[in-house]
Amino acid sequence: MTPEEQALELGKEGVKQVFQPVQDIVRRIAGPAATEVGLMWEDSLRAWRLRRAVRLWQEVKQFASGANLELNPVAPRLLFPILDAATLNEDEDLHERWTALLVNAATPNKQVLPSFSEILKQLTPEEARFLDRAYDEVTLAEQNREIQSRTPLLSSYDYLMHPIWDTTLALINGVTLDNFYRLMLLRRDSGVYVSGGEPETFSEQQISQELENAVYITELGRAFIRACRFPRS
């Protein structure tokens, strides 16, 4: 065996040892692709990314155990983009979102699209925190039916999307807002969307001034934000 082959074998053995504490959760979620999850680290053996990967798997295992979740294998086209991007992340807030995204991807009946990993990869920590704040505010407003109390003509609808508050929008600049539009996480228009249905457009006399050209979180944006949060036990 040549020195190069010996070094490769030692590298493989080192990867196996590092992954030993989390191999059960890797097998559970990666399924048939579990071997590839280990092999993906053998080429470069970048210690930093390897530590991030092990930490990610440990936190997935810890949350699943604490929440008594039964995790399923994740499709490789969804699994590997998450692992690749998550192990390049340095921010703690984003790390938590990557962990939650992987947990949700492995949780039955949770909607996690392949595009979600690409969207999360393109967000800054500040943008991710803004989305969380905006989502919490609009969902609370919708629960309190504040839109219906302000616009009686629309009160016959069971559910109306609430726009993001202007005071919250003031926290971000135009570039960030355009980035959200580009990713289709937010939208601006003069219509009112009914959940699960087609958009309804109202005349200026039928809709209050404050709702015209307001900024809303799209259905895609809402699904993405939920996918980046740990599921409730």
| DSSP tag of 186 | E
Q: What is the model's pLDDT at position 32?
A: 65
Q: What is the model's pLDDT at position 45?
A: 46
Distance CA 35, CA 203 (A): 59
Average pLDDT over residues 40-45: 53
Task: Look at residue 104 and tell me whether its pLDDT is greater than 90.
Answer: yes
Task: Look at residue 142 and tell me whether its pLDDT is greater than 70.
Answer: yes
Distance CA 209, CA 98 (A): 39
Dig out the tokens for 41 from the structure: 């680290």
Per residue in 155-197, pLDDT tens?
444 446 788 999 999 999 999 999 999 999 999 875 454 445 5
Q: What is the model's pLDDT at position 214?
A: 86
Would you list the domain boundaries of the chain?
A: 3-109, 125-227
Task: Look at residue 1 and tell me whether its pLDDT is greater than 70.
Answer: no
Q: What is the model's pLDDT at position 105?
A: 95
pTM of the model: 0.73
Q: What is the model's pLDDT at position 50?
A: 81
Structure-model confidence comparison of residues 6 and 71, the more confident one? 71
What phi and psi values does residue 37 have, to the nearest 5 degrees?
Answer: -60, -40
Q: Are 77 and 31 in contact (CB under 8 A)?
A: no
Q: What is the model's pLDDT at position 8?
A: 47
Average pLDDT over residues 109-124: 95
Please, what is the average pLDDT of the chain?
79
